[in-house]
Amino acid sequence: MDGNSKRLMQGNEACVEGAITAGMRFFAGYPITPSTEIAEISAARLPRIGGKFIQMEDEIASISVVIGASLAGKKAMTATSGPGFSLKQEGIGYAIMAEVPCVIVNVQRGGPSTGLPTSPAQGDIMQARWGTHGEHSIIALYPSTVREIFDTTIRAFNLAEKYRTPVILLMDEVIAHMREAVELPNKDEIEIYNRKKPSVSPEEYKPYKVLEGDIVPEMANIGEGYRYHVTGLMHDESGAPTNDNNIAEEQILRIVNKINNNVDDIVDYEEYKLDDAEEVIIAFGATARSAKSTVDILRDKGRKVGLFKPITIWPSPQKQVLELAKKMKRIIVVEMNMGQYLLEVERIAGKYTEVLGYGRVNGELITPMEIAKFVEEG
């Protein structure tokens, strides 16, 4: 698609457009509201550019074949919503352990269980962080505009390839189904990152051996003459399973630290009217759109309020939130749940300033006036 031309685009459409621009050539999924358009558009677009689309029998199969496609060298993505995201957790854990880059889109809806299939929610924030078992780190991104969905989807693929890890792209029903006029960049303006290929011969290659100064291993594509074992078990540099406790701890620390040690590269955020703010609202996704309008409403009333919008949800923007905590009289976390991200903000900021939370779980978007009333009365 040519850039620099304005067009009306849906959020889910922008996700597919961004994925294809980033190099996605494989999609596997199972239709589920409100993410279904991502599968439908991928099914139409991918065959035209030499890619593959497969509708799988369920969500477990979907994440499994996405992992397989990535191991074979394709940039791969799947998309789902609440119940499907729950089913994918074992596969996400496998991709973390086997260090397989891929993108998992979760367009959130009301839950638990089947819940409110056509209503927005932000109830999977903590599931994105801790949904799979065991000690691990994860990258989870959350855009709030249609153009941001396009850009953030590209960034999700870049981070997945750069750090050999699954990346979760969180959205909600509102931004997924919303349409906005967007102007996409030209392709030569977009940075695309591809996985590091082996610098040694197939005979010398070890898929989990790190080079000096870099704890992200090089990655060969299966089918190119580099034979290696892939497993969810603890494994050594060659991929062979091991029960060696020292190797196990070394491996877990490395897959955690390859993310934790690169937080400054991974974290993305937006600030709005924070220069002279005395209070700050923290919000993301559709809720951040309401919160931004709230800031304008309260500013008109003389209240010095600003917005901090994390686009990288995990790892959390701890450094930035800590700086805010030391300057602000109050932090108000607004989210469509009962206080999931509030827990993280309290952990970081609670001993420096007052932290309040405002949320709801009835499937309705939180309005600017509701937030303003809470700030004024809270």
Is the domain of 36 the same as that of 174? yes
Query: Mean per-residue pLDDT for 50-70?
Result: 98
Task: Report whether 105 contacts 35 (CB < 8 A).
Answer: yes
Q: For residue 10, what is the domain's CATH number?
A: 3.40.50.970
Mean pLDDT for the chain overall: 96
Query: Residue 169's pLDDT is what?
Result: 98
User: Model confidence over 173-185: pLDDT tens digits?
Assistant: 999 999 999 999 9
Query: Residue 176's pLDDT is what?
Result: 98
Task: Report whether 186 contacts 2 (CB < 8 A).
Answer: yes
Residue 3 has pLDDT above 70, yes or no: no
Is the domain of 177 the same as that of 307? no
User: Model confidence over 209-250: pLDDT tens digits?
Assistant: 998 878 999 999 999 999 889 999 999 999 999 999 999 999
Is the domain of 38 the same as that of 167? yes
Of 174, 189, 204, the one marking the end of a domain is 189
Give the whole-angstrom CA distance, residue 19 versus residue 373: 39
Q: Is residue 199 part of a domain?
A: no
Q: Is residue 194 part of a domain?
A: no
Query: Residue 181's pLDDT is what?
Result: 97
Q: Is residue 32 part of a domain?
A: yes
Query: Residue 153's pLDDT is what?
Result: 98
Q: Is residue 344 part of a domain?
A: yes
Of 128, 159, 189, the one marking the end of a domain is 189
User: Model confidence over 63-88: pLDDT tens digits?
Assistant: 999 999 999 999 999 999 999 999 99
In the chain, % helix, strand, coil (3-state, to 5) comes to 40, 20, 40
User: Model confidence over 15-35: pLDDT tens digits?
Assistant: 999 999 999 999 999 999 999
The b/e string for 91-108 (b: 16+ C-beta within 10 A; e otherwise) is bbbbbbbbbbbbbbbbbb
Q: What is the pTM of this model?
A: 0.97
Q: Is residue 119 part of a domain?
A: yes
In order of 42, 75, 216, 225, the CA distances from 51 in angstroms are 9, 10, 27, 22
State the total domains in the chain.
Answer: 2
Q: For residue 321, what is the domain's CATH number?
A: 3.40.50.920
Query: Residue 48's pLDDT is what?
Result: 97
Of 131, 160, 189, the one marking the end of a domain is 189
In order of 322, 323, 331, 358, 375, the CA distances from 326 in angstroms are 6, 5, 11, 21, 19
Question: Domain span at residue 101?
Answer: 6-189
